Chain A
Amino acid sequence: MKLLSAFRSSYLNRRGSTFRSLDPSSFDGGFIPKSSPSSIFWLAIHCLCCLISLILGFRFSHLVLFFLFSTSVTNLYTTTAGVSQLLQLKPLERKTNVTRDRIRPWPHPNPIEVVRAHQLLQRVQKEQKSIYGVRSPRTVVAVTPTYVRTFQALHLTGVMHSLMLVPYDVVWIVVEAGGKTNETASFVGKSGLKTVHVGFDGKMPNTWEDRRRMESEMRIQGLRIVREEKLDGIVVFVDDSNMHSMELFDEIQSVRWFGALSVGILAHSGNADELSSVLKMNQEGKKALSMPIQGPSCDSSGKLVGWHVFDTQPYATKSGVYVDDTAAVMPSKMEWSGFVLNSRLLWKESVDERPTWVKDVNNLLDGNEEIDSPLSLVKDPSMVEPLGSCGRNVLLWWLRVEARADSKFPPGWIIKSPLDITVPSKRTPWPDSSSKLSVVTKEAKSNQAATEKLSGKPRGSKSKSYSKEKQEPKAFNGFKVPATR
């Protein structure tokens, strides 16, 4: 014990170097004093104890204490029992809440609790949205001009899903060129939203120029519907081949009468060479490559001062004319989709609320004058509200991609009769393909082997053929194995 007090005083005299790891009242705490014969002795004892602990696997110091204070015979069993006793007798009064006791036997999450936790998360987020989100959300009235063609399914699926995700009420007005068809009706019906599907006389023309004109007329028709139905909300021009972000619909809730957004223009052609030639030309002409954006432009104080327009110069000679050209398609000066308006602007009554800087909408809607962009609806373009932090956030993208004019697609994208076989799969028992089978077996075999490797399932070829022969349903026509790669 004298050694112990010597320990303590030597420790207290030093400013702690290894803080908190020093426990002066226990001599097995890893403390190594500097110089004194007793300290060297303790150092030696400590090293010995460490070595023995390594061998034994538990703290040898407990054992020594036990030996010093007990009078019983050193029996292996009693030592281990004594060591555990010692843990409780330890003079430091350690609160032995050993962790092992408090691990539950099945430490995996209870699935019911997980579901409940997710419900809680949803509820909290809903509350957050109601407190910090939009105060009184208004209906989104989406006006979409469309017509039946191969890529319509691609485009309308995207638009339909975007509108279905919008967390506000949506009214979807679909104006279809060439009259209502089942194709479009299936999308409109699938959406589960409130929809208005009308037909528009006249087939959609094949040049981009004419198509733009017709789409404008179709959108005007949509606006007439808004006026007639007296829909209350925000009118968005959702073109079927555009891509919209969810933030767009949150942002437009803040529009008062007439808002403008930045649209990302993706004037991309399928032809990579064209694009590189355009870039080269820019570099030669020492012009900075302009941003492919159309939208409002503000000064430093946030006031609308003008419009940023997509530079079509580089594409002047190379832009596509026909809808199915591979060349890049150019947007119009001011795309409809970059503007949103309060539907009350279109109503016949309540003229007082309407701002004076908007032209008489009724005349425009009833007349046959060509309106190429919503800006022609306002007398004073400077009163337009720029949205998306003054046009700095691009919230939607404009893209025009169409298939070849002669491309066909199955109506409703449902294949009525089986597809034609071009190459039969291995071991398909076709009655008339036995001659073909031998010719293509080699290629089919190699492809099969490749696909087998890819799938990674160790299947014996014998069992595979067995299953294929026996369980082949009548309607299943095998799969088209590409003969050449």
Chain B
Amino acid sequence: MTNRSSLSAILLFLFFSASSAQHNVRTERISGSAGDVLEDNPVGKLKVYVYELPSKYNKKLLQKDPRCLTHMFAAEIFMHRFLLSSPVRTLNPDEADWFYAPIYPTCDLTPTGLPLPFKSPRMMRSAIQLISSNWPYWNKTEGADHFFVVPHDFGACFHYQEEKAIERGILPLLKRATLVQTFGQRNHVCLDQGSITIPPFAPPQKMQAHLIPPDVPRSIFVYFRGLFYDVNNDPEGGYYARGARAAVWENFKNNPLFDISTDHPTTYYEDMQRSIFCLCPLGWAPWSPRLVEAVVFGCIPVIIADDIVLPFADAIPWEEIGVFVAEKDVPELDTILTSIPTEVILRKQRLLANPSMKQAMLFPQPAQPGDAFHQILNGLARKLPHDGSVYLKAGEKVLNWTAGPVGDLKPW
């Protein structure tokens, strides 16, 4: 009797494992160092209180320049909107785990659409002064349970040039807060240990509009469109992208396997869907929206940026999904890419085909489960509960309110 029941149990088990294995052939579950957390639901795990700041910090800036909604730093605006209507929002600050101050520091654009970071430190400082004087929660922890979205080139260092950014360092007032930023590079002044790296904003509707049927065969081996030399800002070369992009161009411009150029084709998104590898080299900063586009279109990202920290690095195992090439190895890029075993490439494509992977890179309007907003909240939830040491005793001060360049101390 027991033999028969165990036999049937074994058969049932085999059947189920076979059927699930069949399903796994198409896509694979993604689990990073924090476990299988991409599809976690943050509701119920944390509570966020949104400060009511005057509109000069957010709405007025947006009204002055609506381009802030479409450039790659738009995550700060959409995060604010998402939090306002999210179930994790609480109106009672005493029960909040995290505090959010809605400021749009990148919404100061040049005529050509690039954000100027010069006023951002002062704006941030004035906002923090407002928060600390009107609400008691900042002073309780000096900002350790607050988070800010700073999607600039070099995060809270508030400068577009790397040397200047390193010189400035992270804004002293934000030293204890959690920073949600797009910039991520290991052993860099502008990446704090507890920061959450997010992908740059890429317009989801625009990408959805350019999808092609998945059975169109992938016929391009390596694809890249963008600048190799930045003649405006780096006329001599060797400075932009630390020479990596120029090395790609010089070595592979005549290689028929590499479809690389500085064109702006209208079929950019369609071409990415017809490629196996998409290059994502660093530019002035190591991150770029190309990573998001490559993931959405199923093209394996080839990341050429030393020590980069990719978005949601604890939830997404980027080593298994993308190909990392050291900047010094760029001349051997073709050897590296062609020597990857076939099975590895197919597995990477399966991982990329996982819809939760694509969702995690996007900021859709309205928010959908599993998207980048939820990943940010998941990341914040994983940092809970707050360590007891963040709570300061009454009157204790850790931050230096007068540190930083003299220009920052001026009022905004």
Shortest distance in angstroms between A17's beta carbon and chain B's nearest beta carbon? 8
**CB-contact partner of B214 in A109, A124, A128, under 8 A:** A128
Shortest distance in angstroms between B89's beta carbon and chain A's nearest beta carbon? 36
Q: How far is the CA of A129 from the CA of B328 in the complex (A)?
A: 37
Shortest distance in angstroms between A95's beta carbon and chain B's nearest beta carbon? 6
CB-CB under 8 A from B256, the residues of chain A are 109, 114
Shortest distance in angstroms between A242's beta carbon and chain B's nearest beta carbon? 26
Interface size, A (range) = 35 or more
Q: Which of A351-374 contact B (CB under 8 A)?
A: none
Q: Which residue of A lies closest to B112 (CB)?
A: A19
Q: How far is the CA of A116 from the CA of B334 in the complex (A)?
A: 11
Q: Is A92 an interface position by the 8 A CB rule?
A: yes
Q: How far is the CA of A120 from the CA of B342 in the complex (A)?
A: 6
B346 touches A104 (CB 8 A): no
Q: How far is the CA of A23 from the CA of B246 in the complex (A)?
A: 22
CB-CB under 8 A from A95, the residues of chain B are 239, 242
CB-CB under 8 A from A464, the residues of chain B are none
Q: Which residue of A lies closest to B300 (CB)?
A: A124
Q: Which of B357-391 contact A (CB under 8 A)?
A: none
Q: Give the segment of B52-60, B65-73, B132-140, B230-238 that binds chain A.
A: B230-238
**CB-contact partner of A99 in B213, B238, B276, under 8 A:** B238
Q: Which residue of A lies closest to B247 (CB)?
A: A102
Q: Which residue of A lies closest to B109 (CB)?
A: A19
B257 touches A114 (CB 8 A): yes
Q: Which of A35-87 contact B (CB under 8 A)?
A: 59
Most buried by B among A98, A124, A125: A124
Shortest distance in angstroms between A212's beta carbon and chain B's nearest beta carbon? 38
Shortest distance in angstroms between A49's beta carbon and chain B's nearest beta carbon? 15
Most buried by B among A93, A95, A109, A110: A109
Q: How far is the CA of A408 from the CA of B19 in the complex (A)?
A: 63
Q: Is B395 an interface position by the 8 A CB rule?
A: no
CB-CB under 8 A from A123, the residues of chain B are 342, 345-346
When A19-B114, A21-B232, A133-B215 are in contact, do A98 and B243 touch as well, CB less than 8 Å?
Answer: yes
Q: How far is the CA of A121 from the CA of B274 in the complex (A)?
A: 11
CB-CB under 8 A from A457, the residues of chain B are none
Q: Mark A1-38, 1 if CB is under 8 A from B, else 0.
A: 00000000000100110011101000000000000000
A20 touches B345 (CB 8 A): no
Q: Is B331 an interface position by the 8 A CB rule?
A: yes
Q: Which residue of A lies closest to B251 (CB)?
A: A107
Q: Is B186 an interface position by the 8 A CB rule?
A: no
CB-CB under 8 A from B342, the residues of chain A are 119-120, 123
Q: Give the segment of B33-41, B187-195, B217-225, B396-404 that binds chain A.
A: B217-225
Shortest distance in angstroms between B350's beta carbon and chain A's nearest beta carbon? 9
Q: Is B180 an interface position by the 8 A CB rule?
A: no
Q: Which residue of A lies closest to B329 (CB)?
A: A102
Q: Which residue of B lies closest to A18 (CB)?
A: B232
**CB-contact partner of B238 in A20, A59, A96, A116, under 8 A:** A96
Shortest distance in angstroms between B377's beta carbon and chain A's nearest beta carbon? 33
B221 touches A99 (CB 8 A): no
When A103-B250, A107-B254, A128-B217 are in contact, do A120 and B331 touch as well, CB less than 8 Å?
Answer: no
Q: Is A94 an interface position by the 8 A CB rule?
A: yes
Q: Is B349 an interface position by the 8 A CB rule?
A: yes
CB-CB under 8 A from A109, the residues of chain B are 255-257, 334
Shortest distance in angstroms between B352's beta carbon and chain A's nearest beta carbon? 12
Shortest distance in angstroms between B343's beta carbon and chain A's nearest beta carbon? 9
Shortest distance in angstroms between B228's beta carbon and chain A's nearest beta carbon? 9
CB-CB under 8 A from A124, the residues of chain B are 217-218, 276, 345-346, 349
CB-CB under 8 A from A127, the residues of chain B are 346, 349
CB-CB under 8 A from B330, the residues of chain A are 102
Q: Is A229 an interface position by the 8 A CB rule?
A: no
Q: How far is the CA of A97 from the CA of B247 in the complex (A)?
A: 10
Q: Which residue of A lies closest to B162 (CB)?
A: A95
Q: Is B3 an interface position by the 8 A CB rule?
A: no
Q: Is B118 an interface position by the 8 A CB rule?
A: yes
A132 touches B214 (CB 8 A): yes
CB-CB under 8 A from A20, the residues of chain B are 114, 160-161, 232-233
B338 touches A116 (CB 8 A): yes
B250 touches A120 (CB 8 A): no
A132 touches B215 (CB 8 A): yes
Q: Is B327 an interface position by the 8 A CB rule?
A: yes
Most buried by B among A12, A23, A108, A117: A117
CB-CB under 8 A from B407, the residues of chain A are 12
Shortest distance in angstroms between A20's beta carbon and chain B's nearest beta carbon? 5
When A21-B233, A109-B257, A131-B26 are in contact, do A97 and B331 touch as well, CB less than 8 Å?
Answer: no
14 A-B pairs, CB-CB below 8 angstroms? A19-B116, A20-B161, A94-B238, A97-B327, A102-B247, A102-B251, A103-B251, A109-B255, A109-B334, A116-B338, A120-B276, A121-B219, A123-B346, A132-B214
B residues adjacent to A (C-beta < 8 A): 26, 110, 112, 114, 116, 118, 160-161, 163, 213-215, 217-219, 221, 232-233, 236-239, 242-244, 246-247, 250-252, 254-257, 276, 327-328, 330-332, 334-335, 337-339, 342, 345-346, 349, 407
- Given contacts A20-B232, A99-B247, A124-B276, 19 further A-B pairs with CB under 8 A are A15-B110, A16-B116, A19-B116, A92-B163, A98-B243, A103-B250, A107-B250, A113-B338, A114-B257, A117-B257, A117-B338, A121-B219, A123-B342, A124-B346, A125-B217, A125-B218, A127-B349, A128-B215, A129-B215
